[in-house]
Amino acid sequence: MPAQAIGQGFELERAGQYEQAAGIYLATLRADPTNLSALLGLERVLRPLNRLGELLPAAQRAAAASPTNAALRGVLLRTYVALNEPDSGRAVALRWAAAAPRDEAPYREWAMALEDAHRHAAARDVLLVGRRALGRPGAFGIELAELSRLSGDWEGAAREWAAALEDAPVQLPNAASALAEAPDAARERIARLLTAGTPSPLTRRLAGELLLGWGQPQRAWAVFEPSVATPSADAAFALRRFADLASARSTPDARRVRALALARYADLTPEPGGAAARARADAARAFIDAGDRAAARAVLERVAQDSSAPADAQRLAQRAVVEALIDGGQLDTAARQLATNGRLSADDRAGLRLRLARARIATGDLDRADSAVARDSSVEGLALQGWIALYRGRLKDAQGLFHAAGPYAGDRHEATERTAMLALLQQVPAESFRELGGALLLLAQGDSLHAVQALRLAAGRLATGAGGGGRPDLLLLAGRVAARLDSAQQQTALALFDEIVHTAGEGAAAPAAELEWARLLERRAQTAEAMRHLEHLILTYPGSAVVPEARRELERAKGAIPKS
């Protein structure tokens, strides 16, 4: 049975027994000259045996027996090309093309055979002849694009891909993938070629995807956006794909164009709720990640007004609208939303109250900040109440609230800040100290310059001399803040560190001040002076907790440890 023989030959071929397989295929063809499976099998096994010449008589007999069979013609054509008989191959291809004048197959088969023989220029010529014969400008675009790529002609490849997409839009991902590998030197030329004149929507999408992958998201969106101006299912699909591609990049610009694509995708999704609302929610997240809260708020307001939006999208929208109001300084409006919006979840409401209270603190409105969190018994609420008490100068109350909040309220940075503040307050022998509270409030509001002045005034209210009743600790804080400011304030910081070192006695403030003094000197390129202070610190305060840091700074100053 021919089928059984073919199966046996295939198993021998898989086992690498090409000689035996060839014998079976040849025997099958003697009985049935047009058996395509046997002919293809013979083509596969004779090549590694270097006996391809034996295929030619079999291929000739098969084509003669069935002259209209395209597959048999293809085998004969490939055989002539592989045996380097170009005239015979050309004659077969042209007879085939004459018999099927609207068919791409003769030219494609011919070109593929030439390409397999590494005759790329000849393959290109064949495809161009076929394009002219068929009268279709986009014919063989994919094959010509690949040949251009292989020859290093990236602009030619881009031109062919753009033409091919008009007849085969589903090839867009393949076009983008192929052209994305272009070397840096060719990328700008490709971009200019694809965006010149009035490119088609598909060409714009191709250019947009390439620019996005090449790290130019804003330019990518500017090129891509006109291609989705007309609502259609195709435009919606293209937007979703662009957004997905942008999500693979983590820059703010990439997040922003992802948000723009998702927002436009939502506009093209006609039904309320569902995909549109989720896309808008995702767009808002991307806008927020990109730092554009105004755009996020505009998108989320539409979700918030959509009663049919999914619960998760609705929840994000309600929360984000209030967040945007707070971040935009519209605190009274945000407070009204918190009081009246019944669609906010309990957890979101609690988190937003804390956010609103922090914003009130930043404006100096401690009374309304306090009222926002007065009934909040969570650890985060207690911690914030502690800060409010501190800024009012109620030091004992602040310490109690910080202790009640414990070490796990907020993130690590917030916990570290509370711990440092508790350490400072333990040095100040007062239950109430309005001047200190006011100075720390200025610091929290970002007014560092006036905070330095206020801290120095507060320190002046405390005792001087050994121990200092917290005075050196307040001056140390003032010095650290001043050291981060301009050159004039850095001079103030140096003077403060000098005063602490010479008046604070054996307390922890003196070595800490000398370490900060040395660090500031090093930043000001006064390395020798910085090293002198570090050596003095290490010798004078050997038991200080800052000595290990001082040793490391000294080694770094000497150049033994590179700055990181």
Cα(468)–Cα(516) distance, rounded to whole angstroms? 19
- Distances in whole angstroms, Cα of residue 269 to Cα of each of 25, 79, 244, 276, 282: 58, 54, 17, 6, 14
164 residue type, one letter: A
CATH 1.25.40.10 fits 345-426, yes or no: yes
Helix or strand run (H / E) with residue 189: helix 184-195
Residue 150, token pair as written in the block: 């292989």
What is the Cα–Cα distance from 214 to 395, expressed in whole angstroms? 56
pTM: 0.57
| The token pair that represents 300 in the structure block | 């989320």
Q: Is 504 helix (H, G, I), strand (E, B) or coil?
A: coil
Structural tokens at position 370: 């306090």
Q: At what angle do helices 252-268 and 233-246 cross, to 10 degrees?
A: 160
CB 474 within 8 A of CB 455: yes
| Helix and strand numbers, DSSP H then E, in the chain | 32, 0
φ, ψ of residue 394 in degrees (nearest 5): -90, 85
Alpha carbon of 374 to those of 22, 368, 369, 384, 389: distances in Å? 90, 10, 9, 10, 11
pLDDT of residue 397: 94
Q: Residues for the chain: how many in total?
A: 564
DSSP states of 209-238 as a string? Answer: HHHHHTT-HHHHHHHHGGGG-S--HHHHHH
Domain boundaries, the chain: 345-426
Give the per-residue pLDDT at 562.
53
pLDDT at 120: 87
DSSP character string of 235-282: HHHHHHHHHHHHTT--SHHHHHHHHHHHHHHHHH--SSSHHHHHHHHH
Cβ atoms of residues 372 and 387 within 8 Å: no
Q: What is the pLDDT along the chain (564 residues), one digit of tens a residue?
A: 577 878 888 898 888 899 999 999 899 999 899 999 989 998 999 999 999 999 999 999 999 999 889 999 999 999 999 999 989 999 999 999 898 889 889 988 999 999 888 898 899 898 899 989 988 887 888 899 989 998 899 999 999 999 999 888 999 999 999 999 999 999 999 999 999 999 999 999 999 999 999 999 999 999 999 999 999 989 999 999 999 999 988 899 999 999 999 989 988 876 555 677 778 888 887 888 888 878 887 887 777 777 777 777 777 777 877 887 888 888 999 899 888 887 788 888 899 999 999 999 999 999 999 998 988 889 999 999 999 999 999 999 999 999 998 887 888 888 889 998 999 999 898 899 999 999 999 999 999 999 999 999 999 988 654 445 789 999 999 999 999 999 899 999 999 999 999 887 778 899 999 999 999 999 998 999 999 999 999 999 999 999 999 999 999 888 744 554
Residue 244, number of CB atoms within 10 A of its CB: 12
Which amino acid, 331? Answer: L
Q: What is the DSSP letter of 228?
A: G
Per-residue exposure over 364-400, b if at least 16 CB sit within 10 Å of its own CB, e if not: eebebbbebbeebeeebbbbbbbbbbbbbbbbebbbe
Instruction: Spell 466-483 as b/e; 16+ CB within 10 A means b.
Output: ebbbbbbbbbbbbbbbbb
DSSP string of 414-439?
HHHHHHHHHHHHTTS--SB-HHHHHH
Angle at 481 between CA 477 and CA 486, to 5 degrees: 150
Return d(Cα 190, Cα 153) in angstroms, integer: 10
What pLDDT shows up at residue 153?
Answer: 93
Q: Residue 472 in contact with residue 510, Cβ under 8 Å?
A: yes
Let me know: does 175 contact 161? Beta carbons within 8 Å: yes
Task: Compute the half-sphere exposure of residue 417: CA atoms within 13 Å on the CB side of its CA.
Answer: 13
DSSP letter for 445, please.
Answer: T
Phi, psi of 517 (to 5 degrees): -60, -45
- Give Cβ neighbours of residue 243 (< 8 Å, ≥ 6 apart): 258, 261, 262, 265, 282
Q: Between vectors from CA 134 to CA 128 and to CA 140, what angle results, nearest 5°?
A: 45
Closest CA to 409 of 397, 422, 399, 418: 418
